[in-house]
A and B are shown apart, each in its own frame.
Chain A
Amino acid sequence: MATLTVNRPPQGGFSFENCRRNALIEGEANKVGCSLPSARKTGTTICGIVFKGGVVLGADTRATEGMVVADKNCSKIHYISPNIYCCGAGTAADTEMTTQLISSNLELHALSTGRLPRVATANRMLKQMLFRYQGYIGAALVLGGIDCNGPHLYSIYPHGSTDKLPYVTMGSGSLAAMAVFEDRYKPDMEEEEAKQLVRDAIAAGIFNDLGSGSNIDLCVISKSKVDYLRPHDEANKKGVRTGDYKYKRGTTGVLTKVVAPLDLEVVEETIQTMDTS
């Protein structure tokens, strides 16, 4: 042996080295009155599947900002072209702007070629842009659509690599969703079967991943139509409160009552309608 100490390769599995130290720190912190920060997870569950006659894209609807849910019902399935839609995971702003940019460029491209855009074109545009930014644009996308060559599904990673597969999942809940897919995927499924499978995969992500939640959105793209089902499944309905914290009238006893009328004159009345479109 040439070395003095044997080089220990990094071991897998949980490392229990820091548990005693953490316990000590927790004790110290509690003495002062503060608590240790708890584990935080953020993310999403998005997935797509190719079935007989098209693709089904699915997404959850939770948007998180650190530990807080920023939006309980945000839309993660973005429009690219009439026959192509894209689910986005990662930084919300990045996915939003990237898909909008490519959607705009693709529309111009389609006008220039005079043809319906192909999914492979959208894939190339997205991957070339993400590669150019070397992974700093945090957009992980599931791109699906149907064109003259049939239905196609791509997964696109932030660094610019893409995979063309019959079923893909992305986001923090992707492992849970992929488990469902690996169990029940069959080639050439019917539309209803595919929708049910995607719904179940997203549900697995929602219930087993802290970063995913709320409802399930689905987008079914086929030759003749696009069904944007939002929400397809309200997996997490807001519960009905069983208790009431309001006090009954008469709980507070009234001692005296003084009524003083105010003489007000209407000087000017203007109406400004809110733009609720």
Chain B
Amino acid sequence: MRPVGEAALLPMANVAMIDYTLEFLTATGVEETFVFCCWKSAEIKEHLQKSKWCRHTSPNTVRFVTSDLYRSLGDVLRDVDAKSLVRSDFILVTGDVVSNFNISRALEEHKLRRKMEKNVSVMTMIFKESSPGHHARCHEDDIIVAMDSATNRVLHYQRTQGLKRFRFPMSLFQSLIENVEVRHDLLDCHISICSPQVAELFTDNFDYQTRDDFVRGLLVNEEILGNQIHMHVTTEQYGAHICNLLMYKAVCSDIIRRWVYPLTPEMNFTDDKNQSYTHSKHNIYRGVDVSLGHGSVLEENILIGQGTVIGSNCFVTNSVIGQNCRIGDRVILDGAFLWDRVHIADNVEICHSVICDEAEVKEKVKLKPRCVLSSQVVVGPDITLSEGTVISLHPPDEEEEDEDQFSDDSGVNKMESKVKLKGYNKKDVGSEGRGYLWKADDKNEEDEEEQRQSLWGPALHSEEESESDSDLSLGSEEPDSRTASPQLDDIKVFQNEVLGTLQRGEEENISCDNLVLEINSLKYAYNIGLKEMMQVLSKVILEFPLQQLDANLDSQNYFSALLPLLKNWTPLFKNYIKRASDHLNALFAIEEFFLEHDSLCTSIAKVLMTFYQLEILEEDVILNWFSLRDTSDKGKQLRKNQRLQKFIQWLEEAEEESSDGDQD
């Protein structure tokens, strides 16, 4: 078995995340691990070489593959295929998975499936059951899965992305499968058992970047390629993937509350002498040489690293404190995550925040929830940091290096000289402070929100894992802050390209088949989903006459110009509009177009009629669309259009007739 891992060195309950991942793999019986890294590969390598994984007694052989060219999971797997590193089934995990899952049952199922039907099932994904609202679920990773309950086959996989309503392809329920389960109570552990074909498929499809792309692509092309994906749901064991600080917090507290047993701090699974803890009641873990001042209270769920000194009359609860920290008197730590060598002066209050290595907090500083102080930052004295403040040593204009702020010592040293050139803003960090407010300039409220989210979100992706499509992640508390999709520009460009293509097609009389081919390649080039594709296509075609006739024309002219075009391009539509959801999407796009062009409103009925007659749109879907209630006022007005109502009436009657006919 040869899993592929990606690494992360962030301390999780004082142990680097990658150690959890490797321990999970080893415990589950993996004998050989390939660690792929590009970012900070030297540090990761050094860390692992010092750890127990590289001792000769380790049952799990760890190998490194580093390259700066890895920009995504897809690149890694293509490289795996090119070097033919795997010949049998392997486990694919990212370097930030914490789990005590025992893979053997899932693996057996996987093998059995592959034996029964040769090479059909290529991947088994592991999910953990956890109901919505669970603290270990983050919106970024929230998924809806449709599965065949008899065979555990994945039929549909989609990220919720904060949406309230979802569309499933009709084919899902029309197929021969008896029981289809649609589940929203699953947490993706980001552990998948893959057959060697997975790497090959990544090579064949050079546009796959992430595992999501892969799953989506495979499900869409299931009939063509004949590959299937299965899933395994665990209820008892733990598995989580840390993708942002909220998840970091949740998983840390799960570790301390012993959900991940036996991967608890006092087990010292890394076999590091500095990491030995004793566990006492209320889940308090204490390293060697910890001293606690008089009158200090450790309430519950606390981990204190070796050599830490806590002053008198402090109150600590639900916190993780790293090694060799100095904490003054009368300090209140609630949900604080302190990494190594942090200095905290007297009378400080820290609430639900992360403080990285060697940071210093001076007297009387108050940190509101969700603050982050990166390495070596100094704040204070006597200042209150508002909710969600992020302070790092990197001047805000150097965004390309903003990922470095976490635990990157060498980077920080390099920055030191630059830092001297610019003064620190005393208002932000206090009179003796050192550090810059991270990327928070004169932008509006929403932007700041987004920035903060993106930090509590994917800034913690220390790795290449380029999840470009989820760059604007969201925390579980602000479900609707995801406003604009980053692909918007792409869609615009795509739309223009499609328009250009169609124009050319019209002028040069290119056959529809070739047009489809061109549009398909554009679709892949701009990474456009089917839904957007539909909308763009409908819009472009409807707008087409406007451009030819220099706008400002009445509906009569418009329609007569549109009609031949529609007839010409019928095969184009038919190629894309297949499922019920496509029909609806097309209808929405049509509706949108007519809302934008009030003057043409009257011709909507005719257009729809044409679509219907050309058998592009089905009557059911049109009726369905018409009866949708939750439209805007304008939409309602549009529906009151006389001609449209007549058309609908006609459709209804036609349907009744046809059903009557059936009965006879």
Q: Do A and B bind each other?
A: no
- B-side residues, CB < 8 A to A, are none
- A-side residues, CB < 8 A to B, are none
